[in-house]
Structure 1
């Protein structure tokens, strides 16, 4: 990665970065401006306060916007198509019913955590939550336990996948910015996610269920589902894990085979490329979740097309974040921060987590926290090994999940679905997110000792 010389004295660059971040926070939280516009104005502020020519600032921003849209945007779009096919085919219902149906009362929280994690692999948090809520209600009534006891584990599984595992927008964006290896990050992300979900899910859920006891409402009965056209459990799991297997396969081949001219290596590089792996998975899902589930060509086309409008906002936010990142890079702020961190002998992993935590608390957005924190970390990953760079991505991801509160849309979504007060939501959901974040950091730091 090329080192960019600072365009202004250090104090001026620090003022520029702080002014831009403060502006983004104020615009999102107080003015209620859409993060897309806030990130654009923040990017322009960085360059202008740093003393750059306005035309150069615009050129940096548009270059970063375009490269991010081309790289990360395509992955988010393909992931959304895959998730929509999974939901509309009944495949998600099949996973839920199979796993939950085989769990005893004591094992239900663990089963719900597993369901949340599996559903969370391809789906955005909000979509997964809407999909799982009727099931959480049903399981709570059937087991006669607090909604929190079975709901928190499912939320932990969903949230952990959102923060740690590609192809979710946060991890994919950080991987792109820091030039981390996607396969290695995916493998390490799963290693971090498993113990993190266990601690923040079934274990914390049992405790939270004693603090807040809520019976599942009877007003929302689970709809009768047509099980005749659903894909089987085996087919569903195989399809969901296909992109994961393809991307992990490439990472394994990179380790096992040293010869870059090897045919096997070249084939692995192609099919394990994130874009190709997700494209293959979407095409396979169109058959397993579409054709085999009884969809005709028009229904299949409509299902895939309907996946794109809901993610337009996410694509624009992530792309604007790419522009903001590029302005930070081109002004040399990353280089300055890297030199400061090295002189101060601060752990790169801890710094990445703290930056993400601060921005998450200020803006309420995990995506904005990931974009901004990983942008600031670009200069600090120079010289790190492949594994260490991936751990920086995961440290940012862990920080981006910290203490969801009233400025986070997810906070209100959980509050309303669970029928809780603000105080109850803080004691359950907000604390669960904090446990998830801190546990994730601990696991990342432990892996940092080993790698």
Structure 2
């Protein structure tokens, strides 16, 4: 029976990889558990780069499960191709758009606008709003670093610790980074699960709005106590300045003012609106009609991000006096930072394909069904555990999606359920940001916290936001499942 199930699972190319073994479910699950343990050992203790570690573990799992030697690297190639074909362009275009906004001075413009609008007594509120908007196109660590001069300026003027202004802002920024496309982890998870990017975007943004309020409220409670300011940051506060990455725009030899906040907001919203229009059109228009096909084309995430990049480059770059060399430098400067991310995503795709081809995915699906717990709960718990163990949100999301992809395929879930599940996995990678996470050290370093204070504030805040995000997803999952949507 097991062999019949396993051989029916197609590889991503459409051709089934037939297992060459009669291993029972218990052995297959043991191999999967040993693979995860080895992955964590390689990443945490041996400090091996996640891409290399995932690739090593994938090959060893394939061999341990007695996959035919002639099929091992066919499966590797299939995993790379199927995953990268879905996510590489999205991640690259998203990084370019974020870079254009960053170096044009758009982040500073947003911060100035909302601070002026809300007044000096609501600086933390203004920065939380800015963080929400900036985090959609800009990577978390980049966003924190770019906004540091603004946080320092208000901190110095008010005579307060930078964490007073930066904590709620950073909290919602990380929530968006792990759950809203085009960020790499959630895009990769959607690709592995086969989730609709438009639905994922719609759900994640709806969930992140109340999380923004929650981040501000929780941070405000935490900030009632005083925290030690490490000496290096205390010294930096005396000499803070604008980000050195901003390109000075000139037209006719005259320095051009920074772009307006409204312009930046429109450019950030443009791909989101385009994707959502396409998603809604594809759902409500007649099946197979020209209107539906046009909606699918217009709402393609790749096209939406490409349009946003072109508009951003034209409005924020060329119209404001960038030379072609400067523009090319912006494009090229966005790509090195995502190279390692793309490799991790590719290796995660290999791991997922190995699990499918060896039948481990089907065995895991059977075991999960016997537990009687909703798949969404297991997905969140597994992602949270992986996040805490090795730190990378992207690795946690990709690994969980790879482990559970067979369960999703065989579960007969609707597109809306799969999208909600994907977002829940994203929020699983939000909690327990601590010493294993590069983002933890970014916050601790730039906001001048001790490690102990970072654990008291940042780790607790991210865990509260992660659990809250999951609970909202679980509520949506319950309603959708009951309604049969």
Alignment of 1:417-436 (within 5 A): 417-436=446-465
- The match for 1:327 among 316, 341, 354 is 354
Give the TM-score taking structure 2 as reference length: 0.88
Give the TM-score taking structure 1 as reference length: 0.95
Q: Does 1:96 align with 2:111?
A: yes
Counterpart CA distance in 1 for 2:292 and 2:328 is 35
Counterpart CA distance in 2 for 1:144 and 1:258 is 60
1:259, CA displacement in angstroms? 3.2
Deviations 1:134-190 (A, max 9, x none): 111122233444422211111012101111100000110011000111111110011
Residues 248, 44 of structure 1: alpha-carbon distance in 2 compared, 3 angstrom cutoff: same
Task: Check whether the contact 2:185–2:398 (CA below 8 A) recurs between aligned residues.
Answer: yes
- The match for 1:34 among 37, 45, 49 is 49
Task: Give the corresponding residue for 1:185.
Answer: 200
Task: Check whether the contact 1:150–1:205 (CA below 8 A) recurs between aligned residues.
Answer: no
- The match for 1:351 among 378, 392, 399 is 378
1:318, CA displacement in angstroms? 1.0
Counterpart CA distance in 1 for 2:38 and 2:287 is 49
Task: Give the corresponding residue for 2:129.
Answer: 114
Counterpart CA distance in 2 for 1:267 and 1:212 is 56
Counterpart CA distance in 1 for 2:120 and 2:357 is 56
1:248, CA displacement in angstroms? 0.8
Task: Give the corresponding residue for 2:189.
Answer: 174
Deviations 1:392-429 (A, max 9, x none): 10111111112111111122221111111110110111
Deviations 1:261-308 (A, max 9, x none): 23x322221121111111111111110111122212221111111111
Gaps of 5+ in 2: 11-17, 249-254, 481-485
Task: Give the corresponding residue for 1:307.
Answer: 334
Q: How many residues align?
A: 449
Task: Give the corresponding residue for 1:74.
Answer: 89
Gaps of 5+ in 1: none
Task: Check whether the contact 1:147–1:213 (CA below 8 A) recurs between aligned residues.
Answer: no
Task: Check whether the contact 2:31–2:61 (CA below 8 A) recurs between aligned residues.
Answer: yes
Q: Does 1:240 align with 2:284?
A: no
Give the greater-gyration-radius structure (CA).
Answer: 2
1:213, CA displacement in angstroms? 3.2
Task: Check whether the contact 1:76–1:168 (CA below 8 A) recurs between aligned residues.
Answer: yes
Task: Give the corresponding residue for 2:278.
Answer: 250
Counterpart CA distance in 2 for 1:26 and 1:93 is 41
RMSD of equivalent CA atoms: 1.9
Deviations 1:366-397 (A, max 9, x none): 11100111111112223111111111101111
1:214, CA displacement in angstroms? 5.3
Deviations 1:73-117 (A, max 9, x none): 111111111111111111122111111222234432222211111
Counterpart CA distance in 1 for 2:389 and 2:415 is 31
